[in-house]
Amino acid sequence: MKRYLLLLCMGVLCSCTNQKSRYTNFQPGQVWEDNNGQHINAHGGGILYHSDTYYWYGEHKIEGHKGNTAQVGVHVYSSKDLYNWKDEGIALEVDSLNPAADIARGCIIERPKVIYNQKTNKYIMWFHLELISQGYNAARSGVAVSDSPTGPFTYLKSMRPNKGHWPLNVEDFHKKAVADTIKSAYCGGKECLPNHPDSLNLLGRDFEGGQMARDMNLFVDDNGKAYHLYSSEENSTLHIAELSDDYLSYTGNYVRVFPNRYMEAPSIMKTSNGKYYFIGSDCTSWNPNPARLATADHIFGPWTELGNPVVGTEDQKATTFESQSTYILPIQGKKDAFIFMADRWRPNNAIDGRYIWLPIQFENGAIKLEWKDQWNVSVFN
């Protein structure tokens, strides 16, 4: 009898513990534990939905400032309900044996995104790559591939986009000869560029070697065409580039958008009426700033800026809830239901970065973001 009571109590305790550990809503900014009770480690991430499962990919961080470099790789989690996430391990590992490798331990891997190619049955990962010990000089795009959504992903290559190709909306002055001093100059921030960086013709400077690519995202349109969005030209101008049919390279078709606006942290969505929406931010390093909203009828534009989508206190509007956009997640099975995903960075202790997930609301042809201490997908019903 005593043994039966003990087993019963143990069962109740186990049931209560499991119930308590399971989430039924989102709690922006709070520690978000995975199935092992560990804070989810998928920063600057994105979501792939495939075969009734969501996969969350992001930068694996470690403690301290060193965590801002890639010491482990890209982490992946899976979920059926978006609230509770199972740790699926490291999808892409850094190379710990070859210090000369593109993705050698200590390089910078940021904003990894994964898309599925129906033609090749492959999972394709793109990310912003900075080579080890070069700061942010490399400004490259890395590509990896896998037969499984959880990996392991095999690193293929890195490049600067659209080498030897002019954008569809190129202007005549871009094709003029560029002075050697401009070709060799590196700035690294808008504070040391002129008010109109086009005067330096950064596009022309990088024509032969390929365009710079830093903060990035991927988007697959309704027709299966995939696009790479990335901050280019010393972060001064965003590029939107069409990918090849296998999603592993470029077609050479791309456009410059938001010239001289310093748009980074790009995220994009498309509604059922065919309208595209873009949310990004200014370039202020790790410090948060007001979000920027834009819309277009075609992914290549023209894009129209609509201002700051945040509704709330002055501080919330000024800092986008102390966060920066990383992805816009469409919820499966719900029409025009999207989640704004953002990161609350902690550069001095990178592993403590928090996640800000909020529902996107539509109002008068624009969208708005409002703070919620906790919420669930029933808000879209």
Nearest one of 102, 119, 117, 127 to 149, comparing CA atoms: 117
Residue 4, pLDDT above cutoff 90: no
**Cα–Cα distance list, 253 to 169, 171, 227, 259 (Å):** 10, 15, 10, 17
3-class SS at 363?
strand
Amino acid (1-letter code) at residue 220: V
Query: Quick check: 286 and 110 in contact, CB under 8 A?
Result: no
Rounded Cα distance between 87 and 33, Å, is 10
C-alpha span between 300 and 302 (Å, rounded): 7
Structure confidence at residue 256 (pLDDT):
98
pLDDT per position as a tens digit, 74-125? 999 999 999 999 999 999 999 999 999 999 999 999 999 999 999 999 999 9
Residue 10 domain-assigned (yes or no): no
Instruction: Answer yes or no: is 11 within a domain.
Output: no
CATH number of the domain at 335, please: 2.115.10.20
Give the Å distances, CA to CA, from 4 to 9, 12, 159, 212.
9, 12, 64, 67
The answer to the question of residue 308 being in a domain is: yes
pLDDT tens profile 171-211: 999 999 887 777 665 565 676 777 777 878 999 999 999 99
Would residue 23 count as lying in a domain? no
pLDDT higher than threshold 90 for residue 17: no
The pLDDT tens digits for 268-286 are 999 999 999 999 999 999 9
CA distance 10 to 1: 14
Q: How many domains does the chain have?
A: 1
Report the distance separating Cα 43 and Cα 46, nearest Å.
Answer: 9
How far is the C-alpha of 175 from the C-alpha of 378, rounded, in Å? 52
Which residues are within 8 A (CB) of 149 and not within 5 positions of it... i.e. 6 or more apart? 48, 50, 53, 55, 76, 78, 114, 116, 123
**Residues 227, 37: Cα–Cα separation, whole Å:** 36
Instruction: Write down the pLDDT at residue 131.
Output: 98
Residue ranges of the alpha helices (H) in the chain?
A: 2-21, 180-184, 202-205, 314-319
Q: Is residue 29 part of a domain?
A: no
Q: What is the pLDDT of residue 187?
A: 63
222-267 pLDDT, tens per residue? 999 999 999 999 999 999 999 999 999 999 999 999 999 999 999 9
DSSP 166: -
Domain-embedded: residue 8: no
Do residues 366 and 373 make contact, with C-beta atoms less than 8 angstroms apart?
no
The C-alpha atoms of residue 68 and residue 349 are separated, in whole angstroms, by 9
Domain with 251, as residue range(s), is 41-380
| Percent share of the chain, pLDDT over 90 | 87
What gap in Å lies between CA 309 and CA 307, rounded to an integer?
Answer: 6
Please write the tens of the pLDDT for every residue from 44-85. 999 999 999 999 999 999 999 999 999 999 999 999 999 999
Residue 156 CB partners (closer than 8 Å, separation 6+): 143, 144, 145, 248
Q: Is residue 30 part of a domain?
A: no
The tens digit of pLDDT for each residue in 144-165 reads: 999 999 999 999 999 999 999 9
Kindly tell me if the per-residue pLDDT of 10 is higher than 60. Answer: no
Instruction: Report CA-CA distances (Å) from 350 to 189, 202, 210, 312, 325.
Output: 22, 32, 31, 27, 17
Whether 354 has a pLDDT exceeding 90, the answer reads yes
Residue 15 counted as domain residue: no
To which residue do tokens 């609350």 refer? Answer: 344
pLDDT at residue 21 in the model: 54
